[in-house]
Structure 1
Amino acid sequence: MQSACNVIGNVRCVRRALIVFTLITVAAFQPAAGQSLVIKDLDALPGGYNYSNALGINERDQVVGYSITAGGNTHACLFENGVVTDLGTFPGGSNSSANAINNRSQVVGYSSTARGETHAFLFEHGVMKDLGTLPGGNYSIASGINEHGQVVGLSSNLRGYLHAVLFDNGVVTDLGTLAGGSDSGALAINNRGQVVGYSSIASGFAHAFLYDHGVMTDLGTLQDTGLSHAQAINDRGQVNGISSIASGDVHGFLYEKGVMTDLGSLPGRNDSNAFGINNRGQVVGESDAGTNPYLPHAFLFEHGAMTDLGTLPGDNFSEGVGITGRGDIAGNSTLHAILWTREK
């Protein structure tokens, strides 16, 4: 799994190491032609390091992610109506992150434990519940949740490998790997119970997968290259993610009915990454904006076109991580989580 994480999964981590720190203020977004969006700074935990990051959104515009506390730890957070709520950690733990939220306000993510392990959690009604691991494992992360409360993520097993898992009614189910693979991870689940993520294959590369009715299907790659990674799925079964291409760059993709379509990048640019999709097939992510060092801009892909969503005034980086059915977009802009909403 390390080859997959280093090339695909950690693109966002490498990118953030290059971010130039800029003061973020609440301001109106100057939208691209045809767009009617305003942007809100979702702020950060008070007294901390003034940093927050959004990772998920539901149809109520509740956004989840993490922020850095005064003690320098990352804590899972809920961003709602101008308030940043610290969801805390497991007892004795120090760090946590919230990765997804459904319309029942159930939040999933991971937290360190008093024993120094990392376990997946489900947070609801003010309580953070440990979802456990595969038998013999000591590490797990929850990445996605649907409206039925089914949770997906990954867990270590007795042999120390990481496998995609389903957490459902107190049972942790190993979803396995693609043929010849040793490691996998699940990132999203829709309301039909279809799961997407990545798995290593016999060559050692990682490929995007769709898991449906007990079968894990390899979604392949763009241009028959080495790597791909599925990151979101809607209730129509449309999948988006990232794949390498022949030039050596990476592009966001949309997979539907057996066909993987290259979403390209912003005009004249190279890389892109697709993070979220709604049931209308609108995709959000980030694309190379032509800056040096690499600092991408958030995009909205719809009707075959990729639109640059820009940044906060004076900023130079943004990304979209999730989109609601009405087109509201959660994302990040250098130091703070942000939310694009439709003008009313």
Structure 2
Amino acid sequence: MKKTLVVLAGVALVATGFSYPSTPRFEFDTLAPLGGRTAIGSSIDSRGVVAGTSTTTGTAKHATVWRNGKARSLGTLGGPGSSSAVLWPSSGRVIAGITQTDKPDPNNESWSCGAFLPARPGYACVGFAYVDGKMRALPTLGGPHGFAAGANSRGLVAGWAEENIRDSSCVGTQVLRFRATVWDVRTMRARELRPLRGDSVSAATGVNDRGRVIGISGACDQAVGRGSAREPVVWDHGKPRALTDLGGIAWDTPMDLNERGDIAGFVNRSAADGASLKPLPVWWSASGRLHRLTLPSGYTFGQALGINERRHVVGVALSEDFSQCAAVLWRSDSKPIVLEDKSGRLQPCDANAINDRGQITGDATHVKSGATVGFLATPR
């Protein structure tokens, strides 16, 4: 049975320490691509170092770090033309992401990486941990593919990996079952986290320093959300517990969590939307209570993508037809603030991560060139 809850649209978020002024202003720095036309900031640490993804001079994408505005490629674990990416917030000394490899995939699956990286049929894509200046492949659970999402400061990485087990609930090119996985980069061992009772697959999207893991549970489906995100889940001490949602049956996805255990993410609007993506931005308190975040005027859908220790939440607002987007900050009063570059150089689209200093990273359209670039927004 699906769980529903009457949500509070104007609930107050508790903030301590750093606080935005009543009308916050930001200084925007552009995160330029490595050589192509696209860059996206996905993660920001306490020092303002950003990690994300950039296109190169060719069609490939590389996991990228921007330090003091300078871009550095983290490389890939595949041959020429292979791609990699950082897609989720990471904290501490470990940067986690995904990379294509030169290892063959006998099932020729598009896998979860297919939604984020250029197609490279016939080769496996796995999660990586970038530690001490080196990209290291994270082991799977027996199948060809893996996917690394968030990382904590203790060297744990959350994601999902394939088992060598066929699953009849898979669709499209997906063949094998996958499970939520936590890797310890010190030992490079993978620990499987089981789905909720009655589900066949699970995936983890984040882990905090206390060992709380967030993610999804459902059917194999296409391995990119939808039916595999039938339920939002939190694992405490390895045991899965369903989080409250709005009754939807797909696309319910926790995206980030802080050390106290508060979670930012999105859930589908209702069961009536079925498998269609109709997301609404939400956050869950550490106790599991669901709070819906108000969208800016003129926007129908949205996703909460990052949260810091002060329960400041960032994400994206989307128009009814998904053609328009706006980067959004939700602060202590829960009212949405659309991020604007007062210089007019950038039109921010997605706010993907926020640190405890209130700095935000994401992606924007460069007004003059039309290119998609990353941004670092620092409050002033």
TM-score, L = length of structure 2:
0.76
Question: Which of 31, 35, 38 is the equivalent residue of 2:24?
Answer: 35
Question: Are the counterparts in 1 of residues 43 and 90 from structure 2 also a CA contact under 8 Å?
Answer: no
SS in 2 for 1:85: strand
Question: Which residue pairs with 1:76 in the alignment?
Answer: 63
Question: Which of 35, 55, 58 is the equivalent residue of 2:45?
Answer: 58
What CA deviation, in whole Å up to 9, does each residue of 1:133-164 have, x standing for no partner? 11x21101110110100111010111111211
CA distance in 2, matches of 1:175, 1:320: 29
* 1:32 to partner: Cα distance: 10
Deviation larger for 274-283 or 90-99: 90-99
CA distance in 1, matches of 2:198, 2:319: 37
Aligned residues: 308
Question: Which residue pairs with 2:95 in the alignment?
Answer: 107
1:132 pairs with 2:139: yes
CA distance in 1, matches of 2:145, 2:318: 33
Residue identity in the other structure for 1:87? L
Question: Which residue pairs with 2:156 in the alignment?
Answer: 150
Question: Are the counterparts in 1 of residues 89 and 353 from structure 2 also a CA contact under 8 Å?
Answer: no
Question: Which residue pairs with 1:284 in the alignment?
Answer: 314
Residue identity in the other structure for 1:250? P
SS in 2 for 1:59: coil
CA distance in 2, matches of 1:99, 1:319: 12
* 1:251 to partner: Cα distance: 0.8
Residue identity in the other structure for 2:328? F
SS in 1 for 2:310: coil
Residue identity in the other structure for 1:265? L
1:309 pairs with 2:339: yes
SS in 2 for 1:236: coil
Question: Which residue pairs with 1:182 in the alignment?
Answer: 200
* 1:99 to partner: Cα distance: 3.2
Q: Where has structure 1 moved over 3 Å in runs of 4 or more? A: 99-105, 201-205, 246-249, 314-317
5+ long unaligned stretches in structure 1: 1-30
* 1:102 to partner: Cα distance: 4.6
Question: Which residue pairs with 1:267 in the alignment?
Answer: 297
Question: Which residue pairs with 1:161 in the alignment?
Answer: 177
Question: Are the counterparts in 2 of residues 146 and 190 from structure 1 also a CA contact under 8 Å?
Answer: yes
With over 3 angstroms needed to count, the CA separation of the structure-2 counterparts of 1:243 and 1:287, relative to structure 1, is same
1:326 pairs with 2:326: no
CA distance in 1, matches of 2:40, 2:196: 32
Residue identity in the other structure for 2:66? F
Question: Are the counterparts in 1 of residues 178 and 220 from structure 2 also a CA contact under 8 Å?
Answer: no
Question: Which residue pairs with 2:375 in the alignment?
Answer: 338
TM-score, L = length of structure 1:
0.83
CA distance in 2, matches of 1:293, 1:277: 23
5+ long unaligned stretches in structure 2: 1-19, 104-122, 166-175, 222-226, 366-371
What CA deviation, in whole Å up to 9, does each residue of 1:246-287 have, x standing for no partner? 485421111112311111311243111000000100000011
Residue identity in the other structure for 1:73? A
* 1:313 to partner: Cα distance: 2.3
* 1:63 to partner: Cα distance: 0.8
SS in 2 for 1:77: strand
SS in 1 for 2:85: strand
Question: Which of 108, 114, 124 is the equivalent residue of 1:117?
Answer: 124
CA distance in 2, matches of 1:213, 1:105: 23
**RMSD (Å) for aligned C-alpha atoms:** 2.3
Task: Give the fraction of aligned pairs with identical amino acids, expressed as a percent.
Answer: 27
CA distance in 1, matches of 2:26, 2:360: 9
With over 3 angstroms needed to count, the CA separation of the structure-2 counterparts of 1:189 and 1:161, relative to structure 1, is same
What CA deviation, in whole Å up to 9, does each residue of 1:220-253 have, x standing for no partner? 312x232311111111111111111248542111
